[in-house]
């Protein structure tokens, strides 16, 4: 899929089919359904690291304690198909970054909730949109991601978007 990316009022589009828009309250129940699907839950419900309830708590508190995270819904022809987010690592106070410089570093998370969009290059395109969005921000220098090493689809999508695997820090990295 050739990317024709444009940014307009917090809406990013690929060939006018794939878009990202801000998550709103009406999306939360759908995200909960997606998080509980087998193909997502195995990567996002990993106690004690995090649980589906942790993800929902964060999303439900996006206007308070998790204001620093930008939560988005991926749309295909205006139909919600997935969830993604990005944030400044320095704001998250997490401990998986290794020796990565935090100044200018962002991270992204993403999943496709609707099974019929899996294995069609849509995840790769969602990542491309996220990268474009993050790198349009003043001060952004790099993006790091740490998917489960067994999540081949995610790892390969990152590599196909120009990320490299930083062995020293055990993260996928893309610099501006």
Beta bridge partners of 4: none
- Residues 108/127, Cβ–Cβ less than 8 Å: yes
* pLDDT-derived band at 15, boundaries 50, 70, 90: low
Is residue 10 a contact partner of residue 16, using CB atoms and an 8 Å limit?
no
Q: Which two tokens stand for residue 86?
A: 């990005």
Q: What is the pLDDT of residues 89-143, one digit of tens each?
A: 999 978 787 788 889 999 999 999 999 999 888 999 999 999 999 999 999 999 9
Query: Where along the chain do its domains lie?
Result: 5-175
Integer distance in angstroms from the first to the last C-alpha of the chain? 22
What are the pLDDT digits (tens) for 48-98? 889 999 999 999 999 999 999 999 999 999 999 999 999 999 999 787 877
Name the nearest CA neighbour of 82 among 136, 134, 44: 44
Q: How many CB atoms lie within 10 A of CB 53?
A: 12
* pLDDT, tens only, 27-45: 999 999 999 999 999 999 9
Nearest-angstrom CA–CA distance, 114 and 112: 6
Neighbours of 105 (CB within 10 A): 19
Is the pLDDT confidence value at 3 over 90?
no
Does the pTM surpass 0.75? The reply is yes
Q: Give the domain 5-175 fold.
A: Aminopeptidase (3.40.630)
Q: What number of other Cβ atoms are within 10 A of residue 76's Cβ?
A: 20
């Amino acid at each position: 899929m050739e990317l024709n990316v444009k940014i307009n009022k917090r809406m990013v589009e690929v060939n006018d089919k794939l878009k990202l828009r801000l998550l709103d309250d009406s999306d939360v129940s759908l995200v909960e359904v997606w998080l509980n699907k087998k193909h997502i839950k195995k990567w996002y419900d990993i106690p004690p690291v995090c649980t589906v309830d942790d993800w929902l708590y964060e999303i439900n508190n996006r206007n308070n304690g998790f204001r620093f995270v930008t939560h988005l819904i991926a749309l295909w022809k205006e139909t919600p198909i997935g969830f993604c987010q990005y944030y400044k690592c320095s704001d998250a106070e997490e401990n998986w970054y290794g020796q990565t410089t935090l100044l200018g570093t962002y991270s992204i998370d993403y999943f496709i909730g609707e099974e019929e969009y899996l294995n069609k290059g849509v995840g790769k395109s969602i990542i491309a949109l996220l990268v474009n969005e993050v790198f349009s921000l003043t001060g952004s220098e790099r993006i790091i991601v740490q998917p489960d090493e067994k999540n081949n689809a995610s790892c390969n999508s990152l590599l196909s978007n120009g990320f490299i695997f930083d062995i020293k820090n055990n993260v996928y990295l893309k610099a501006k």
